[in-house]
Chains A and B, each alone.
Chain A
Amino acid sequence: MGEEQATESVGRNGVGSLGVAAELAGEAALARIQKPEPVEGRGPVVRQRDDGKHVPGEPGVWIFILGDMSIFAVLFGVYIVGRGDAPALFESQQQLLNQNFGALNTILLLVSSLLVYSGVNAIRKQDLRAPLLFIAAIVCGLGFVVVKYFEYSQKIDHGLTPALNDFWMYYFVLTGLHLFHLLLGLGVLTLITLNARRAKPGSTRFALIEGGACFWHMVDFLWIILFPLLYLVGE
């Protein structure tokens, strides 16, 4: 659906004709005449592939996202192995976590992801209210940080620090690394908010927004695994 809209708007700019319609009609000459020159590097970039599939964002963003996913995959494995070394300790320490904090943060991130997805769609429709959606997503992200702040301070007040034992070391390293990504994501969402109104579908600016949105969704789904792994997986 997304690509259809993108193609449509690109078509309005007169570029879509060069790839699809003109070639189908066999009017190659006409296409050559109509081929627009990119204006100061801000011309629409046609990202349509032959099969109509579309890479969300810049391909480079995906190298970064897949790299991050690999690092977290290893960390999930390391945690499970560490847990296997001392299941009784992990089981007893895990009881001290407040699962409601973790569940609340999952909900906050899921709401933020829906807002970001809707924001990207609003830009596709050139809806000027798009920045509002990204601001609302940032508020959800800040809510996550506030919940984490209360959670961390509660734990540290009770003497549950990374130095105490392996469980708390893993807990603070994994959630801390995730929090770092989330803060990066909040910076990305801020940039998206500032650029949302100027982004035309199919432009490089829009591709960067799509890529940034995907980064935020990654922050969301990494928490979707960290929450059960740290808070729920028992025995």
Chain B
Amino acid sequence: MDLIARDRTLIAWAVLISATALSWWLGTDHGFDDPRIAAVAVLFVGFFKVRLVGLYFMELRLSPPVLRALFEGWCLVVCGAVVTLYLVL
């Protein structure tokens, strides 16, 4: 087991697993009375998880700012677009 990296990425991984459990719970008729609020919450949690995968597993937190900005920009724009389309349509 000493092969598994023991650094901040392991903490990020634990957060990702917990967030998966949270999404699953929120998305299966728990937590919020309004399913639309639950849906938006689940999407926000999802894109937050994507950002963690990028920054820690892909090591973009150590990459040149341009690459990191492209990635985080993607998370922000796609999350905003999907949530907006979901709420408007």
Interface residues of chain A, those whose CB is within 8 Å of chain B, are: 1-3, 49, 51, 53-56, 62, 66, 69-70, 73, 76-77, 80-81, 83-85, 99, 103, 106-107, 110, 113-118, 121-122, 127, 129, 132-133, 213-214, 217-218, 220-221, 224-225, 227-229, 231-235
Q: Are B28 and A77 in contact (CB under 8 A)?
A: no
The one of A53, A80, A127, A225 that contacts B85, using a Cβ cutoff of 8 Å: A80
Closest to A53 in B: B64
Q: Are B67 and A62 in contact (CB under 8 A)?
A: yes
Q: Are B26 and A110 in contact (CB under 8 A)?
A: no
Residues of A contacting B77 with CB < 8 Å?
73
Residues of A contacting B4 with CB < 8 Å?
114-115, 118
In angstroms, Cα B70 to Cα A77, docked, is: 19
The one of A73, A84, A85, A121 that contacts B78, using a Cβ cutoff of 8 Å: A73
Residues of A contacting B5 with CB < 8 Å?
114, 117-118, 121
Residues of B contacting A229 with CB < 8 Å?
43, 46, 82
Q: Are A103 and B20 in contact (CB under 8 A)?
A: yes
Q: Are A225 and B47 in contact (CB under 8 A)?
A: yes
Closest to B56 in A: A117
Q: Are A234 and B27 in contact (CB under 8 A)?
A: yes
Q: Are A55 and B57 in contact (CB under 8 A)?
A: no
Q: Are A76 and B78 in contact (CB under 8 A)?
A: yes
In angstroms, Cα B17 to Cα A115, docked, is: 14
Residues of B contacting A56 with CB < 8 Å?
58-60, 62-63
Residues of A contacting B26 with CB < 8 Å?
232
Residues of A contacting B38 with CB < 8 Å?
234
Q: List 8 A-B contacts (CB under 8 A).
A: A1-B62, A53-B62, A53-B63, A62-B67, A81-B85, A132-B3, A213-B58, A235-B36
Closest to B59 in A: A56
In angstroms, Cα B88 to Cα A105, docked, is: 30
Closest to A91 in B: B35
Chain B 68-89, CB-CB to A under 8 Å as 1, else 0, gives: 0010001001100110011011
